[in-house]
Amino acid sequence: GDSVTQMEGPVTLSEEACLTINCTYTATGYPSLFWYVQYPGEGLQLLLKATKADDKGSNKGFEATYRKETTSFHLEKGSVQVSDSAVYFCALSDSTSGSRLTFGEGTQLTVNP
């Protein structure tokens, strides 16, 4: 079945540091890939997505590239801010699983001033 594996957290960075959160996946079909962010006490917000190989999703300074050869969708940001502190979820949607979302375990990011 489909699965998503994220790097273990928590991740703690200083403001303006570079961020990479690794995400790899297994899927039987041709999935779409997503990054969602969850701020404390809130639901999930879509951060970015990519629907086919070599697509790059980007939003709010974050970006991720759909790498089919390495089955990866790593999240990157060049300079994090305190307001980026949240839990980040990598997810995939695959037509062979009824287009449901399969989530990774989430990575807690804390950015200190």
Partner 1 sequence: GAVVSQHPSWVICKSGTSVKIECRSLDFQATTMFWYRQFPKQSLMLMATSNEGSKATYEQGVEKDKFLINHASLTLSTLTVTSAHPEDSSFYICSAREGGGPTDTQYFGPGTRLTVL
- With tokens 């041709």, the residue in question is 30
What's the min distance (Å) between Cβ of 37 and partner 1? 10
- Closest CB to partner 1 among residues 43, 113: 43
Binding to partner 1, residues 50-89 (CB under 8 A) = 51, 89
Size of the site for partner 1 (CB under 8 A): 26
Write phi, then psi, for 84 (nearest 5 degrees): -80, -5
Which amino acid, residue 98? G
- Distance (Å, whole) CA 6 – CA 14: 21
- Distance (Å, whole) CA 112 – CA 82: 6
- Closest CB to partner 1 among residues 17, 101: 101
How many residues would you count in the chain?
113
Q: What is the DSSP string of 43-80?
A: -EEEEEEE-STT-EEEETTEEEE-BTTTTB--EEESS-
Binding to partner 1 by CB under 8 A, coded x per residue (else -) over 12-51, reads -----------------x-xx-x-x----xxxxxx--x-x
Which residue from 8, 16, 54, 105 is in contact with partner 1, where contact means CB under 8 A? Answer: 105
* Binding region for partner 1 (CB under 8 A): 29, 31-32, 34, 36, 41-46, 49, 51, 89, 93-95, 98-101, 103-106, 108
